[in-house]
Amino acid sequence: MRKTAEERKEQILTVALRLADELGPDRLTTGAVADAIGLTQPAIFRHFPTKQALWAALAIRTRQRMHSSWQAALGDQISSEARIAAVIDTQLSTIAENPALPAILFSRELQVENGDLRKTFAGAMAAFRNLLHDEVAKGRDAGVFRRDLDPSDAAALLLSLVQGLAIRWSLGAREFDVRQEGARLVQVQLRLFAASPQRRA
């Protein structure tokens, strides 16, 4: 059955993300994507006229899916601690399901050759940090977290936890469960944020 244009685009992006993991982002070519799908390069170019356009579309799709997953994670939680833990777990789940993401974030393709890709991922991380900032601020105002806790600093620490864990997982040949380790470390961090029992009472 012949795929629609949108179905073909989705297939190309899915395969490109898989190959970025297998080959490395900087070694990914449209030829490799075409071969993996069983298409010609001109067929790829009908949907994405350049490799930069393919990367840009991949970044936009990833950003949209991350935003949707964050909102879904927040919707089922009540306490600030649970909401923060849930959204971080969701982000780590996205990384576990798309293991090329840490490599893409530090690739030459992102840092030097593709400004649109860099801006899209930078915007996604800024949105994630803002979300964490707002959740910490709510927890502080509710007396869950210390009154002297700066939400901006707390959000930076939580974002660094996610990014550092993703890099350690990637460089360590994924030899541990990134979500399980993330859940453990988030709880350690949240305990450091917590107000004393007397202040919370």
What is the pLDDT confidence band of residue 198, given thresholds at 50, 70 and 90? very low
Is pLDDT above 60 for 33? Answer: yes
Is pLDDT above 90 for 186? Answer: yes
Q: What percent of the chain has pLDDT over 70?
A: 95
Query: What pLDDT is attached to residue 110?
Result: 67
Q: What's the CA gap between 69 and 24, in Å, rounded?
A: 26
Instruction: Please tell me which of 3-7, 24-28, 182-186 the model is most confident about, judged by mean pLDDT.
Output: 182-186
Please give the average per-residue pLDDT across 36-54, as a whole number: 90
Please give the average per-residue pLDDT across 60-71, as a whole number: 92
Is pLDDT above 80 for 193? Answer: yes
What is the pLDDT confidence band of residue 103, given thresholds at 50, 70 and 90? confident
Query: What pLDDT is attached to residue 109?
Result: 67
The pTM score is: 0.86
Query: What pLDDT is attached to residue 201?
Result: 42
What are the backbone angles phi and psi of residue 98, rounded to the nearest 5°?
-130, 70
CATH architecture of the domain with residue range 58-200? Orthogonal Bundle (1.10)
> Which tokens go with 144?
């869950």
Is pLDDT above 80 for 27? Answer: yes
Average pLDDT value over all residues in the chain:
89
pLDDT in tens, 152-183: 999 999 999 999 999 899 888 788 999 999 99
pLDDT in tens, 105-148: 777 766 677 788 888 888 999 999 999 999 999 999 999 999 99
Please give the average per-residue pLDDT across 55-64, as a whole number: 90
